[in-house]
């Protein structure tokens, strides 16, 4: 990594996603204008009609879900000196990877019915599964403090990796009351922090949108709610939410392709 001598040219691209991460970046408003004063924006479909294929830094949002996406991201990789995966769809697969649990032929028939035949779809993959990614950002939508950090680190030639501690660490730093105390099931103990625990700060549960920490003990959330000799707070939380073990495990796979990636080879049956 080295700092850019002149103003680098940046471009934004989207693959399969809701484009909410780009919208979140736009909502930075004045802070975004300050960041953009250090670069030249040459392509950003969501905000401008001009576009150029000459860029230094590519921010890429969304998952790779079609063969044509593979070719497009490879072409972007060839052109960009720095490639950033923007948000959870791009970095770990997010909701798109839920389809990997089923054969692709079943998925397209379910969605498109009789018209399924011409649909190009392959098991969803994060961008780093297809090309080299230089910087990863997470969150659904992307954590804006992390976007800003990554933006500045790129310009100053410094590396960045999302932190590998659970969201609980940020709750403690912020002095936030644990939502389990209020009978709310929270995935923070196994979710990667870096969002400043924003949901729990407002009294809501962490739903795991930044993905699992490395070597997350994904059995633990179910065990502390449904094991024997439960702590009274956990027993009350389990009773109040009427969740069973399978429902807890399903919550854990909403944003994470971990549980579904093992099926990719099986589900890529070429019917898509
Ligand atoms: S990570 Fe979430 S907000 Fe961002 S594009 Fe994907 S679904 Fe939308
Ligand atoms: S609210 Fe959630 S993230 Fe925060 S300390 Fe409690 S379990 Fe951990
Ligand atoms: S608290 Fe959890 S759900 Fe909320 S932004 Fe952070 S990682 Fe995502």
Domain residue spans of the chain = 9-156, 167-258
- Neighbouring-strand partners of residue 14: 61
Q: Are 25 and 148 in contact (CB under 8 A)?
A: no
Averaged pLDDT of the chain: 89
Q: For residue 206, how far is its CA from the centre of ligand 2 (angstroms)?
A: 7
CATH 3.90.950.10 fits 9-156, yes or no: no
**pLDDT digits over 46-71, tens only?**
999 999 999 999 999 999 999 999 99
Q: Are 171 and 188 in contact (CB under 8 A)?
A: yes
- Give the residues surrounding ligand 3 with Cβ less than 6 Å away: 139, 167, 191, 195, 197-200, 206-210
Q: For residue 262, how far is its CA from the centre of ligand 2 (angstroms)?
A: 29
Nearest-CA residue for ligand 2 atom 1 is 178
Nearest-CA residue for ligand 1 atom 2 is 140
At 257 the pLDDT is 56
At 261 the pLDDT is 46
**pLDDT digits over 174-220, tens only?**
999 999 888 888 999 999 999 999 999 999 999 999 999 998 888 87
Instruction: Report the share of the chain in percent with pLDDT over 70.
Output: 94
Determine the Cα–Cα distance for residues 143 and 140; give it in Å rounded to an integer: 8
**pLDDT digits over 116-166, tens only?**
888 889 999 999 999 999 999 999 999 999 999 999 999 999 999 999 999
Does 264 have pLDDT greater than 50?
Answer: no
Counting from 1 in the atom list of ligand 2, the atom nearest the Cα of 181 is 6
- Please state, in angstroms and as integers, the Cα–Cα distance from residue 92 to each residue in 10, 109, 179, 259, following that order: 23, 25, 26, 12
């Amino acid at each position: 990594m080295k700092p850019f001598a002149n103003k680098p040219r940046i471009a934004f691209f989207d693959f399969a996603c809701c484009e909410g991460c780009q919208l979140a970046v736009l909502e930075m408003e004045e802070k975004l204008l300050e960041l953009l004063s250090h670069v030249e924006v040459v392509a950003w479909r969501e905000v401008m009609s001009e576009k150029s294929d000459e860029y230094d830094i590519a921010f890429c949002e969304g998952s790779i879900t079609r063969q044509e996406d593979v070719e497009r991201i490879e072409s972007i990789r060839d052109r960009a000196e720095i490639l950033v995966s923007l948000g959870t769809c791009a970095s770990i697969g997010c909701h798109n990877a839920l389809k990997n649990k089923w054969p692709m032929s079943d998925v397209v028939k379910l969605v498109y019915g009789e018209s399924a035949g011409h649909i190009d779809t392959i098991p969803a993959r994060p961008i780093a599964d297809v090309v080299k990614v230089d910087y990863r950002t997470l969150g659904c939508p992307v954590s804006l403090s992390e976007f800003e950090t990554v933006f500045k680190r790129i310009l100053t030639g410094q590396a960045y990796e999302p932190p590998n501690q659970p969201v609980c660490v940020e709750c403690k730093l912020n002095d936030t009351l644990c939502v389990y105390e209020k009978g709310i099931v929270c995935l923070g103990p196994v979710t990667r922090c870096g969002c400043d625990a924003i949901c729990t700060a407002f009294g809501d549960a962490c739903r795991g949108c930044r993905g699992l920490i490395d070597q997350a003990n994904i059995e633990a959330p179910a065990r502390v709610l449904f094991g024997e000799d439960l702590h009274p707070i956990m027993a009350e939380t389990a009773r109040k939410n009427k969740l069973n073990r399978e429902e807890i495990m399903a919550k854990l796979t909403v944003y994470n392709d971990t549980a579904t990636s093992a099926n990719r080879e099986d589900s890529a049956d070429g019917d898509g």
